[in-house]
Structure 1
C-alpha cells in the first residue's frame, strides 16, 4: 500500500480557481449595488429620509434580491440540504455586512461632517466595498457550503476499497434461479 501526500495549491492557484466564482459574485453583487443605490437615492431625495435610514432600507431590499441571485445562479450547485439554516446564516452575515456599510456611512456623516448627497454616496461606496469583502468570504465559507468532496487520505483509500469489493464480487460464483 503506497501513500501519497497531496500538495496544497498555492495562493495564486487557489485565486485562479476562484476567479469564475468571484466574477459571478461580482455580477450578482453589482445588480445588488444598482438596486441598493436606486433605493438609497429614492429614499434620500424622494422621501427625504435620513441617510442611515435610507441606507438600511436600501440594503435590506438589495439583500433580498442578492439572495435570489446567489442561491439560484452562483451557488446553485452548493449544498442546499438545510434552507432554513442557509437563509438564517445569509441574513446574519448580510446584516453584519449592512452594519459595516452603515457604520462607515454613519462615521463619515456624523464624525467627519460629510453631509452633501454626493459625499454620502461616496461614503456609501466605501462602506459597500468593505462590506462586500466580508460578505464574499462569509457567504462562500459558511452560508453556501460546497458539496463534500473526497480529498486527502480518504480519496486515496476510496479506490482500494472499491477495487477490493469488485474483486470479492467477481470471486463469488453466480447462483441462478431455477
Structure 2
C-alpha cells in the first residue's frame, strides 16, 4: 500500500471510530425521545420522529466535530476562519437529510412505525449513506488543506 493509501485508510478508520461514538450518542437519544427512555413513560416525541432525529443528531454532530477535528483529521489544517465549524455544520445538516428521508419513507410511505423499522431505516440504511457522503464532503471542504500532510511525506 502506498503512503497516501495508508494515510487515507487511517483517516477512514479514525473517522469511522469518531462516527461510531457520535452514533451511539445519537442512537440512545433518538430512541429515548421517540420510543421512551423506559417502558413506564410515554416518549416525549413519539409522534414527531423527524424532530427527535434532528435533536439527537445535532447533539451527535457536536461529538463528531470535536473528534473529527482533534483526532480523525488532526494532521490537516483548514482555511476557514472559524476552524471549519460553519462548513461542518452545513455538511452535517445537509447529509442529515439522507437518513431523515429514509425515516420519512419508512414511516409515511411504508407505514412502519415500530422501533426496529425506525432504527433500520434511519440508523442503518440512512446513516450508512449519510456517513459516506459526510466523509467525502468533510475531507474535501472542511479539512482539505494538505500542507501538514505533504510536510510529513518528506520525513
Gaps of 5+ in 1: 1-11, 152-178
State the alpha-carbon separation in 2 of the partners of residues 35 and 101 from structure 1.
Answer: 16
What is the DSSP-based 3-state SS (H/G/I as helix, E as strand, rest coil) of the residue aligned with 1:41? helix
Q: Cα distance, 1:85 vs. partner?
A: 6.0
Cα distance change, pair 147–16 in 1 and its aligned pair in 2 (3 A): closer
Change (3 A) 1:83 1:71: farther
TM-fit CA distance, 1:101: 1.3
Does residue 24 in structure 1 map to residue 23 in structure 2? Answer: no
TM-score by length of 2: 0.82
Give the aligned partner of residue 39 of structure 2.
Answer: none
Alpha-carbon shift at residue 17 of structure 1 (Å) = 4.0
State the match for 2:153 in structure 1. none
Distance 1:117 1:149 in 2: 45
Residues 1:71 and 2:61 aligned together: no
Quote how far apart the aligned CAs of 1:108 are: 1.2
Matched, 1:112 2:110: yes
Distance 2:29 2:5 in 1: 33
Please say if 1:136 is aligned against 2:135.
yes
Q: Relative to 1, partners in 2 of residues 1:93 and 1:82: Cα closer, same or farther, differing over 3 Å?
A: same
TM-score (ref. length: structure 1)? 0.72
Aligned-partner SS, 1:48 = coil
Consecutive unaligned residues in structure 2, runs of 5 or more: 37-42, 151-155
Give 1:39's aligned residue.
29
| Partner residue in 1 for 2:59 | 61
Alpha-carbon distance between aligned partners in 2 of 1:96 and 1:55, rounded to the nearest angstrom: 14
The root-mean-square deviation of aligned C-alpha atoms, in Å, is 2.1
Per-residue deviation, residues 11-56 of structure 1 (Å, max 9, x unmatched): x856554111111011000001101101101101223312111111
CA shift in 2, pair 1:105/1:142, >3 Å? same
Shift of 1:83: 4.2
Separation in 1, partners of 2:19, 2:58: 13
Report the counterpart of residue 127 of structure 1 in structure 2.
126
**SS at structure 2 position matched to 1:79:** coil
How many residues get paired? Answer: 140
Q: Which has the higher contact order (CA 8 A, sep 6+)?
A: 2
